[in-house]
Amino acid sequence: MYGYVTPNSPELKVREQDEVNAWYCGLCSCLKENFGRAGQLTLNHDMNFLILLLGGLYEPEKHRSVGRCIVHPLTKRVFLTSKISGYAADMNILLAWYKVADDWKDEKKLKARAMMTGLRGSAKKVMQKYPEKAKAVSRAFKILSRFEQEGSADLDKVSGQFGKVMSEVCDIYGDEWSSQLRGIGFSLGRFIYIMDAYEDMKEDEEKGIYNCLSKHLKNFDTKENFDEFVYNVLNNIMAECAKNFELLPITENIEIIRNIIYAGVWRRWEELHNVKCSK
Per-residue confidence band for 98, with pLDDT thresholds at 50, 70 and 90: confident
> Rounded distance, CA 27 to CA 50, Å?
11
Q: Which of 166, 202, 190, 169 is nearest to 239 (CA)?
A: 190
Q: Which of 146, 143, 188 is nearest to 167 (CA)?
A: 188
Amino acid, single-letter form, for residue 134: A
| Rounded mean pLDDT, 205-229 | 94
> Rounded distance, CA 245 to CA 90, Å?
23
> pLDDT digit string (tens) for 32-60?
999 998 889 899 899 999 999 999 999 99
Answer yes or no: are the C-beta atoms of 183 and 244 closer than 8 Å. Answer: yes
DSSP-derived letter for residue 246 is T
SS3 63: strand
pLDDT at 278 over 50: no
Phi, psi of 28 (to 5 degrees): -60, -45
Q: Is the model's pTM score more than 0.85?
A: yes
Pairing relation of β-strands 77-81 and 63-67? Answer: antiparallel
Structural domains in the chain plus CATH codes:
9-273 (1.10.600.10)
Residues 173-195 as b or e (16 or more Cβ within 10 Å = b): eeeebeebbbbbbbbbbbbbbbb
DSSP string, 3-36: ------GGGS-HHHHHHHHHHHHHHHHHHHHHHH
